[in-house]
Amino acid sequence: MDQPILVERELVLGREALDALAQAGFAPDLVAWVLDDDADEWRLLVADRTVADSGPTASYKRAFAAIGETEVQLPLTQLWLVDPDDLGVAGLRRFMEATSEDAVRPGGGVAVAGRSVSEVFIYDLAFVEYERQVVAALQRVLGDAVMRRSTSVFDQPPAGVDFVLGFETGPSAFVCVHGGKRRLPTFALAPMLRYASAMPVLLVLRAGLTHEAEAMLRGARNLLVVRWSGPPDDEALAAAVEVLRHTTE
């Protein structure tokens, strides 16, 4: 049997589920998509202290209620809550601490809560928190524009596109958020340049671009780059949204 493939839609759904859980007071110290060998499917692993403090039943009830109150289209059977003190979780945490971005751990020989896991995609929670802050900033400056998650617009969102902005004046624009601690390289910028040939793109970065990516960006049309580090940068974000608004007229 072919191994199930983790696709962009599931990566975005995982971040949406994290937003919903955060609103309900969950504060996981590790979140990952894991390929459960026994079930032969990808599941969203959330290691949260509530599992140890309140027990699995109460934790699942609270998590299901939090996700059920949103439009997050994550099948609840894919949610897997575990104790953060689980030895398998501790191993994944050590692996993540040795990297600086979202990471896939080549599989084999990993056991989490007594179940065999062969592949893992671990979220950088600092990256997720950065995206949450950027969303809040955009909501402060959007005016009458409407922002939607890419998963609510596309069955399979374009890689790297997190949100779609809609303006009363006409077509939409893509929003891509990159919260990595390293500057964005050319290979990550290239898809956004392709998208910008068809519609405007706003790229919001924590760390900026590499010199090579800056050179690639020169002369590009319909691709706006904003380096956002906090509320003092809201003005630059607002200016970019205004440019997008007039671009789509």
* pLDDT of residue 190 exceeding 90: yes
Q: pLDDT tens digits, residue range 108-134?
A: 557 888 888 888 888 888 888 999 999
Q: What is the mean pLDDT of residues 17-28?
A: 92
Least confident of 141-155, 201-215, 216-230: 141-155
Q: What percent of the chain has pLDDT over 90?
A: 53
Q: What pLDDT score was predicted for residue 102? A: 65
Q: Which two tokens stand for residue 133?
A: 């802050």
> What are 183's two structure tokens?
């500057």
Q: Is the pLDDT at 170 greater than 80, yes or no?
A: no
The whole-chain average pLDDT of the chain stands at: 88
3-state DSSP call for residue 107? coil
Closest CA to 177 of 127, 215, 219, 221: 127
When pLDDT is cut at 50, 70 and 90, the band that residue 169 belongs to is low
pLDDT in tens, 46-71: 999 999 999 999 999 999 999 999 88
Give the pLDDT of residue 234. 97
Among the residue ranges 135-139, 163-167, 244-248, the one predicted with the least confidence is 244-248
Band (pLDDT 50/70/90 cuts) for residue 9 is confident
DSSP class of 72: -
At residue 195, does pLDDT exceed 60? Answer: yes
- Quick one: pLDDT band at residue 107, thresholds 50, 70, 90? low
Task: Identify the residue with better confidence: 85 or 106.
Answer: 85
Dihedral, 128, 132, 133, 139 alpha carbons, nearest 10: 150
Tell which CATH classification among 3.40.1350.10, 3.40.50.1820, 3.20.20.70, 3.40.50.720 matches the domain 127-247. 3.40.1350.10
Taking alpha carbons only, the member of 233, 234, 215, 237 closest to residue 225 is 237
Domain range summary for the chain, segments of one domain joined by +: 8-123, 127-247
In this prediction, residue 12 carries a pLDDT of 84
Residue 61's SS3 state is helix
